[in-house]
Amino acid sequence: MRWWRAIFEKLRADIRLAMICLLGALAAITILPFAALRAANGQWTAVVIDVLVVAVIAGNALFAWRTGRTRLAGSTVVVLVTIGCVGIQVALGLEGLLWVYTVMIANFMLGPRLLAMAANLALMASPFLLPAGFPAPDAQATFLATAALVTLYGFIFSWLVAFHHSQMEALATRDALTGTANRRVMETEVPQAVATHHSRRLPAGLAVLDLDHFKLVNDQHGHDAGDRVLVAFAEILRRNLRKSDRLYRFGGEEFAVLFPATDRDGVEVVLEKLLQRIREELRGPSGPVRASIGAAMLTGDDDWSSWMMRADGALYQAKRTGRDRICIEGDRRCSPERCAGSA
Ligand SMILES: Nc1nc2c(ncn2[C@@H]2O[C@H](COP(=O)(O)OP(=O)(O)OP(=O)(O)O)[C@@H](O)[C@H]2O)c(=O)[nH]1
């Protein structure tokens, strides 16, 4: 039963993939019997459309499952199923209109909201463009009102789902105090970076930053004052890092920075700048607050925890040799006498 569990876990991790696969299964179960019925009645155009719709939805589900490109697969299904729904109206007349509501809801579950909105507007207009048209003005008004309501509910529902999803994602991945990525994200991204940099033979750096004598700020001025210093510290780091660098808060007053595709000189330049900005800008209630920085470059033997341990060891050196400085592992300057950035 392990394969069954693996499928369940994969679907649980990606709601859009789950929707696409669910629609694929439901489309086959619900549409194919109609195709058989229509074949028995000799409605061959409708049969072809039904089979095509099922094939497209099932094919897309397979594509999404294999490639993980669920946004593209979802958008494709929206466009093709909407076209199929219009085709069924052409083939069956008003009977085909009964499928419109199902497709309108499915569009919001599968595709981006704006695309679903556009597809639903097209579905609302389509019966008026058919040769047979609507028989009575009352029926036209009823159709427009009900289709507009379904579209509105679908829009609101999909917006709410996206909103709650982004809030839950923020809760799971952001540090609540400083807004930086948290330890959980670091433990996902750094191993990925190790694998990527090893396979592409690219250099990468990892730095650990820790405030100096931060306990004193808490002890003398309280936890709230300490929190404000932490927020200011994170803000200085964020402002002075490059877009490609990744900042994490992984402990109380400990932050880490991943420098992808960066060599040792590049890492050193950025860290020197950070240290300078911290010296110039970081203030606590009783004056400047300083930080120590340790860093290590990725080596061929590293996994992420050994890399982290080496960066942490360099931080320990920076603390041991007087704080308010940078130590990059392996650098002979990173000795008690001469640490980079020592004041
Ligand atoms: N205000 C605040 N303080 C925190 C938070 N997390 C950890 N701390 C405090 O950070 C302090 C860390 O103290 P230490 O590990 O002794 O480090 P330090 O005083 O900075 O000393 P060195 O690192 O050796 O320079 C402790 O007082 C913790 O209570 C937090 O979220 N907010």
Ligand 1 pocket, 212 CB below 6 A? yes
Please confirm, yes or no, whether 235 is among the known catalytic residues.
Answer: no
* pLDDT surpasses 80 at 104: yes
Question: What digits encode the pLDDT tens for the residues 332-342?
Answer: 666 554 454 44
Tell me, in angstroms, the distance from the centre of ligand 1 to residue 208's CA: 15
Ligand 1 pocket, 284 CB below 6 A? no
For a pLDDT cut of 90, what percent of the chain falls above it? Answer: 62
- What ipTM was reported for this prediction? 0.96
Look at residue 332 in the predicted model and tell me its pLDDT. 66
Tell me, in angstroms, the distance from the centre of ligand 1 to residue 213's CA: 7
Tell me, in angstroms, the distance from the centre of ligand 1 to residue 314's CA: 19
Ligand 1 pocket, 177 CB below 6 A? yes
CA nearest ligand 1 atom 5, residue: 252
Domain 183-328 fold is: Alpha-Beta Plaits (3.30.70)
* pLDDT surpasses 50 at 168: yes
Ligand 1 pocket, 69 CB below 6 A? no
Ligand 1 pocket, 281 CB below 6 A? no
Q: Residues 71, 114: contact at Cβ < 8 Å?
A: no
Look at residue 343 in the predicted model and tell me its pLDDT. 45
Catalytic residue among 95, 235, 253, 254: 253
Look at residue 60 in the predicted model and tell me its pLDDT. 86
Return the ligand 1 atom nearest residue 219 CA: 27
First vs last Cα of the chain: how many Å apart?
62
Tell me, in angstroms, the distance from the centre of ligand 1 to residue 52's CA: 63
Q: Of 82-96, 116-130, 294-308, give the lowest mean pLDDT range.
A: 82-96
Domain ranges of the chain: 2-173, 183-328
Q: Residues 106, 81: contact at Cβ < 8 Å?
A: yes
Ligand 1 pocket, 218 CB below 6 A? yes
Ligand 1 pocket, 254 CB below 6 A? no
Question: What digits encode the pLDDT tens for the residues 208-251?
Answer: 999 999 999 999 999 999 999 999 999 999 999 999 999 999 98
Q: What is the pLDDT averaged over residues 171-198?
A: 94
CA nearest ligand 1 atom 14, residue: 215
pTM exceeds 0.90, yes or no = no
Tell me, in angstroms, the distance from the centre of ligand 1 to residue 219's CA: 10
